[in-house]
């Protein structure tokens, strides 16, 4: 009995210490930010007392919280409410409802990176390189990238109005939403026993899908492999690191560096590296996790990169779940390649540059990749 009282006393002491610490920290915050906190309360009071319509306090607080994240002026840091968070999770898991485009940030504009074939966007005529100008008559300049994408998502069968800038002119599209099942990995065997592996998105299950496709290709006795990362906007970083074991030796895949200079090394612990020549295709739509994988392959010289300079997004976001089902997607670090190269805004330059234009009647980048592989396969 005495022992139990001692345990309870210790627990109570810990709780008191925690409570005191939290109270102290909150007190310090209020003291150092007294004027700003007072201003926020004054604005809330004025709105509550004088605004024409009745505004729920929850709505005002939600706006204040969202505004804190927006004040960072970082297009990749976003506060998501419960609905937005659920839709974002569906996107990462590889099954989304919407129109079938991948959108990224380029020079502060929201640009279509790729259009998935056989989707509403493709049928309507949206093209890679289109700048999203308005969605449902709302200017994208008044939204962050996640809000813009969420505006295009919705229930299958419903309409969305999308305005884009293309070659200096505004084009209007009315698109009927549908369920979009993103094929994260696709593969086939080309001539001369060359395997072709296209990775469209780093979803949470893409590493398993890639392993399955790669095994099937190897069973067909391929002698070389093209890994196509073009127009892949990235996604789940852990998935990219897991895939690295099929292409890299054991060792660092990527370094994650935070605001304090602390470095985390994400390693390939067990290598299952394929013993055939490898060519990787990249372009301006290859971003984030795509650049992690392509950058590691280039640094460690285990494959040849063909195509165009990649996008240059070397920022790491984490998802922080919040009470009530909301979440914050926050930039917390940047990544460096195995040679500790910072590619943020710089991108990765291919070993062999091949510019693909709309006028090209064939895929000149893939053609060059096959030529490089054929030369590699001749070597003993």
Q: What are phi and psi of 255, to 5 degrees?
A: -105, 135
Which position has the token pair 């997004």? 313
pLDDT number for residue 31: 58
**Which pLDDT score is estimated for 268?**
94
**Separation CA 312–CA 287 (nearest Å):** 6
Give the number of other CB atoms < 10 A from CB of residue 150. 21
Yes or no: say if 323 and 369 are a contact pair by the CB < 8 Å rule.
no
> Distances from the Cα of 307 to the Cαs of 191, 229, 295, 342, 367, in angstroms?
20, 10, 14, 20, 11
Q: What homologous superfamily is domain 183-378 in, according to CATH?
A: 2-enoyl-CoA Hydratase; Chain A, domain 1 (3.90.226.10)
6 — phi, psi (to 5°)?
-65, -40
232 in Cβ contact with 287 (< 8 Å) = yes
**Alpha carbon of residue 216 to chain centroid:** 28
Report how far residue 109's alpha carbon sits from residue 75's, in angstroms, rounded to the nearest whole number. 10
pLDDT at res. 41: 80
Helix axes 2-32, 34-50, angle to 10 degrees: 80
Decide if 48 contacts 55 (C-beta within 8 A).
Answer: yes
Place of tokens 């449902």: 136
* Domain range list for the chain: 2-66, 96-180, 183-378
Task: Out of 1.10.357.20, 3.30.9.30, 2.30.42.10, 3.40.30.10, select the CATH number for domain 96-180.
Answer: 2.30.42.10
d(CA 52, CA 54): 7
163 CA to centre of own chain: 23
Mapped onto helix, strand or coil, the DSSP state of residue 364 is helix
Establish how many alpha carbons lie within 13 A of residue 130's alpha carbon, considering only the half-sphere containing its beta carbon: 24
Q: pTM score > 0.85 for this model?
A: no
How would you write the pLDDT of the chain (380 residues) with one tens digit per residue? 444 455 445 444 444 444 544 455 455 555 566 677 788 788 888 888 899 999 888 888 888 888 989 999 998 899 998 888 887 776 666 556 789 888 888 888 899 988 888 899 999 999 988 999 999 999 999 988 888 988 998 888 899 999 999 999 999 999 999 988 777 899 999 999 999 999 998 988 899 999 999 999 999 999 999 999 998 988 889 999 999 999 999 999 999 999 999 999 999 999 999 999 999 999 998 999 999 999 999 999 999 999 999 999 999 888 899 888 999 999 999 999 999 999 998 999 999 999 988 778 899 999 999 999 999 998 87
Task: Output the pLDDT for position 279.
Answer: 98
The residues assigned a catalytic role are 288, 313, 317
**Residue 321 in 3-state DSSP?**
strand
157 torsion bin: left (phi>0), alpha (psi -120 to 50), beta (else): left
Position 11 scores a pLDDT of 44
Assigned token pair, 249: 């030796």
The token pair at 158 is 């419903």
pLDDT at residue 304 in the model? 98
Question: What's the CA gap between 322 and 66, in Å, rounded?
Answer: 12
Q: Which token pair is 207?
A: 């590493």
């Amino acid at each position: 009995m005495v022992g139990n009282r001692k345990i309870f006393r210790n627990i109570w002491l810990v709780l008191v210490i925690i409570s005191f610490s939290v109270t102290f920290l909150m007190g310090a915050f209020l003291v150092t930010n007294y004027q700003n906190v007072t201003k926020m309360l004054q604005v809330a009071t004025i709105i509550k007392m004088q605004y024409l319509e009745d505004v729920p306090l929850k709505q005002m607080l939600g706006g204040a919280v969202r505004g804190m994240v927006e004040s960072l002026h970082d297009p990749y840091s976003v506060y998501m409410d419960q609905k937005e968070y659920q839709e974002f999770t569906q996107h990462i898991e590889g099954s989304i409802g919407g129109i079938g485009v991948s959108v990224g940030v380029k020079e502060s504009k929201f640009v279509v990176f790729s259009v998935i074939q056989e989707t509403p966007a493709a049928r309507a005529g949206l093209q890679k390189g289109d700048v999203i100008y308005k969605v449902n008559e709302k200017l994208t300049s008044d939204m962050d990238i996640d809000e813009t994408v969420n505006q295009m998502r919705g229930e299958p069968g419903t309409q969305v109005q999308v305005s884009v800038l293309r070659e200096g002119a505004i084009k209007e599209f009315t698109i009927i939403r549908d369920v979009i099942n993103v094929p994260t990995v696709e593969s086939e065997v080309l001539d001369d026993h060359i395997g072709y592996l296209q990775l469209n998105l780093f979803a949470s299950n893409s590493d398993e899908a890639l392993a399955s496709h790669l095994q099937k290709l190897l069973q067909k006795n391929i002698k070389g492999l093209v890994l196509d990362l073009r127009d892949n906007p990235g996604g789940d970083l852990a998935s990219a690191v897991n895939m690295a074991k099929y292409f890299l030796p054991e060792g660092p895949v990527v370094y994650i560096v935070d605001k304090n200079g602390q470095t985390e090394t994400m390693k390939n612990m067990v290598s299952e590296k394929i013993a055939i020549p490898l060519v990787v295709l990249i372009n301006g739509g290859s971003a984030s996790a795509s650049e992690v994988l392509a950058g590691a392959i280039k640094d460690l010289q285990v494959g040849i990169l063909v195509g165009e300079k990649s996008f240059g997004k070397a920022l790491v976001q984490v998802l922080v779940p919040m009470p009530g089902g909301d979440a914050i997607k926050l930039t917390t670090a940047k990544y460096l390649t195995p040679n500790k190269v910072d590619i943020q805004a710089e991108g990765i330059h291919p070993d062999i540059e091949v510019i693909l234009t709309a006028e090209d009647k064939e895929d000149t980048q893939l053609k060059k990749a096959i030529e490089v592989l054929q030369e590699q396969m001749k070597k003993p």
